[in-house]
Amino acid sequence: MKRATTIIIGAGQAGLAMSKELGDRGIDHVLLERGSVAHSWRTERWDSLRLLTPNWQSRLPGHAYEGPDPDGYMTMSEVTRFLQGYAQKIDAPVHSRTTVTSVCPTDDGYAVATDRGHWHARNVVMASGACNIATVPKLAEGLPPNVRQITSMQYRNPQQLEPGGVLVVGASATGIQLANEIQASGRPVTLAVGEHVRVPRLYRGRDIKWWMDASGVLDTRYDTLDDLMRARRVPSLQLVGTPEKITLDLNTLQRAGVQIVGRLAGLRDGNAQFSGSLKNQCTLADLKMNRLLDTIDAWVAEKMPHGVFAEAHRPEATRIEGDPPLSMNLLDRTIKTVIWATGYRPDTSWLNVPVLDGKGRIRHDGGVTEAAGLYVMGLPFLRRRKSSLIDGAADDARDLADHITRGLARKAA
Ligand SMILES: Cc1cc2nc3c(=O)[nH]c(=O)nc-3n(C[C@H](O)[C@H](O)[C@H](O)COP(=O)(O)OP(=O)(O)OC[C@H]3O[C@@H](n4cnc5c(N)ncnc54)[C@H](O)[C@@H]3O)c2cc1C
């Protein structure tokens, strides 16, 4: 049995940031990683994906983007290189190709089983990712067999799809990006739209992420919210990172020829049924976008000298013309593929510690679970609005490393 004071599961940005913080505090640790550094970015994303956060926002403890294009958006191979460079720079003790198969409590910590032997540690930090499994709604079972279905994690590029119609379900960052790319490939796309969060790419001459960072929106703490559970379920922003810095929203998609319908509500007798709430959903998304822009304008008015930024404006409201169809025949072979872009969830199948709620989610208070010495990182709104982003790893790792340090000091005393 090998031993370490702390085991970090996963060598993505969260695990690496934690490694840096523990190293700085002199706490011995290892990272157990089933693939190699940045495995999720290397293997689980589609070919054309770029970050939707600008390069300057890729900031980790003691490491930041230093290239010539701070306002650009990294490709997946650039993200991989960025994280690999970080792992080397901090000399992270990564054990690659080591899959954790079980974590069990012991009298003085945790037994961690892997496909390459057994470990014991006082503390375990689960930095194994929030997006290990694509969420597919139960109604997918009703899809007729003539329609192929894949998840956004299986999607790589349009050439992988049969020629013909594609129904993309879900209109957050993933869904809108796939809809746009597939429509451009000549496959007519129908996009089923539920709750979504609309934002412009650029506002008053700056990236929306710059505004959210500068005005403190991304630093909002988890313990200041009235409805934290709700905040943790808010879908990702409708954004894409392109060299042209385009805004990709439902208006852009409709101009490109994508047909917009309501949330997929049922699949019965070969028919897809869509909710009639599309217009309401869009009105709500416009309202929330304008509220965010109001917050930004108020911040500018209060903190910035007059005339520094372009004038305030509001994007055109989402246009939904006529009555979008409420059903679609899936037996007539018009739709060849359904793509589920309906979110992601973590894989905790290896976790044998009673810290899951009734829905299988890890119960935690800002990353600290009820089981002494067991921590989690990288989940949505873990400690801050930015927690699941690359830029969120640094602050969360620092806070949790402090917690680990205090726990070890208490035990030693
Ligand atoms: C499509 C998509 C686009 C995104 N775009 C952005 C963006 O533009 N900007 C941004 O800031 N964030 C973005 N994110 C969010 C977030 O930054 C990523 O999900 C990121 O990968 C999370 O980093 P992480 O370290 O928390 O987890 P991961 O990167 O998933 O790292 C977890 C690691 O744990 C390993 N692992 C998992 N299970 C085990 C096990 N049992 N044993 C051993 N190792 C294991 C995995 O192999 C992986 O390497 C995006 C997410 C997705 C899904």
Note the pLDDT tens digit of each residue in 197-253: 999 999 999 999 999 999 999 999 999 999 999 999 999 999 999 999 999 999 999
C-alpha 33 – ligand 1 centre gap (Å): 12
Q: Are 250 and 318 in contact (CB under 8 A)?
A: yes
- pLDDT value of residue 59: 98
Count of residues in the chain: 413
Nearest atom within ligand 1 for CA of residue 174? 1
Q: How far is the CA of 260 from the centre of ligand 1 (A)?
A: 30
pLDDT at 306: 86
Q: What is the percent of the chain where pLDDT is above 90?
A: 97
Q: What's the chain's Rg over C-alpha atoms?
A: 22
Angle at 141 between CA 139 and CA 146, to 5 degrees: 120
* Residue ranges in the chain modelled with pLDDT below 50: none
Pairing outcome for strands 264-268 and 117-126 = unpaired
CA of 117 to the centre of ligand 1 (A): 24
Question: Distance, CA 129 to ligand 1 centroid (Å)?
Answer: 5
The residues, ordered by sequence, that sit 6+ positions from 14 with a Cβ below 8 Å of its Cβ are 127, 129, 377, 378, 393, 396, 397
Which pLDDT belongs to residue 307? 87
Q: Which residues contact 362 (CB under 8 A, 6 or more apart)?
A: 126, 346, 348, 351, 355, 356, 369, 376, 379
* pLDDT at position 337: 98
Question: What is the model's pLDDT at position 305?
Answer: 87
pLDDT value of position 217: 95
CB under 6 Å to ligand 1: residues?
Answer: 9-15, 32-35, 39-41, 45, 51-53, 99-100, 127-129, 131-132, 174, 344, 350, 378, 388-391
